[in-house]
Amino acid sequence: MKNKTNLIIDTDPGVDDAIALMYAINCGNFNIQLLSSEGGNGPIENITANAIHLTELFNVDIPVVQGAPTPIARPANYGTSAQGKSGLGGYSYNKKKLKHKPIDGEACDVIYETLKKNKTKTTIVSIGPMTNLAKMLQKHPDSKQYIKEIIFESGTKEKIYGKPYKSFNVGYDPEAAEIVFKSGVKLVMVPMELGHFAYLDKQDIKRFKNTNEIGKIFAKMFKKYHDYHVGKLGAAVHDVCTIYYLTHPEYIKTEKAYIEIKYYKTDKDDFGYIDIDFEKKPNATVCVDLDINMFKYDLFDVLENKLNLN
């Protein structure tokens, strides 16, 4: 049997984060060693509780460490307009009934110690802002020797209304992303376009609802989950594309590119974004397309056939 990949997931759940965690936990490919939370889709206490709740929902014992509550150099600007007040769309749960608590320690230190204990390099999936990872690289510069690659969701190849687009994860803390990009760690970028290709239409959401108890919970999440690019067509599930890159790279088209953080400042705007140059010497792999039919087949295979519902 193929050895499972050691995985650390840095996350701010988040409806699409929740889908990614469902897929990663249940597909059978990974030894998920740690979830590190950070503010982004909501305040850090809510986000950490969401991460813990999801591990309990999927019946797994994965430690959760509470991470950065705010960006490195900016005030927090939460993504609640897209993800809902709780971060999990139209779904709610009783936080007082959580059975677990976050483990002790600062996230940047706990991630570092988790990396160090492995005999081989570890893959990090970043599906939230990169604040925890940036702090780790600053505090523990030798940490990069233990990282196989960082696969992250954010950014876009396109301009919107003639100017760069502030995609959420990087836009929330661009200074953190800049530290990560300049670290020399191997990078795999999953831009938001992939999530717009890999969206769940109304029939897919109905199928979720009719599958099992977990599917019904996700259907509730989708009710108040707003991706403003997909709109009323359905629910874009950007974050799960990072996991799909690991499980089924044969169904994802990639190109090499040079990526860096740039800043857009006017009287009305002040934000960071990812600039992509396919002509420069590359420092990253950029996912540019995926097979939507196979993506949905594999996603529903996990939801319908591989969940631990005990």
Write the pLDDT tens digit of every residue in 88-131: 989 999 999 999 999 999 999 999 999 999 999 999 999 999 99
The predicted structure's pLDDT at residue 195? 86
Q: Does residue 12 or residue 86 have the better pLDDT?
A: 12
Write the pLDDT tens digit of every residue in 189-248: 999 989 888 889 999 999 999 999 999 999 999 888 877 555 567 788 999 999 999 999
pTM of the prediction?
0.96
DSSP 244-287: HHHH-GGGEEEEEEEEEEEEEE-SS-EEEEEEEESSSPPSEEEE
Q: How far is CA 92 from CA 15, 212, 218, 267, in A?
A: 12, 17, 11, 39
Gap between the Cα atoms of 122 and 262, Å rounded = 28
Q: Does residue 94 or residue 165 have the better pLDDT?
A: 94
The predicted structure's pLDDT at residue 229? 55
Judge whether 126 and 150 are in contact, CB under 8 Å: yes
Phi, psi of 99 (to 5 degrees): -90, -20
> Would you call 149 helix, strand, or coil by DSSP?
strand
Asked whether the predicted pLDDT for residue 280 surpasses 50, the reply is yes
Judge whether 172 and 134 are in contact, CB under 8 Å: no
Judge whether 143 and 136 are in contact, CB under 8 Å: yes
The predicted structure's pLDDT at residue 1? 46
Q: What is the arithmetic mean of pLDDT over 138-148?
A: 98
Catalytic residue positions, numbered: 238
Strands 147-153 and 187-190: parallel
Percent of the chain scoring above 70 in pLDDT: 95
The predicted structure's pLDDT at residue 159? 65
Gap between the Cα atoms of 240 and 126, Å rounded = 11
Domain boundaries, the chain: 5-305
Domain 5-305: which CATH number of 3.40.50.150, 3.90.245.10, 3.40.50.300, 3.20.20.10: 3.90.245.10
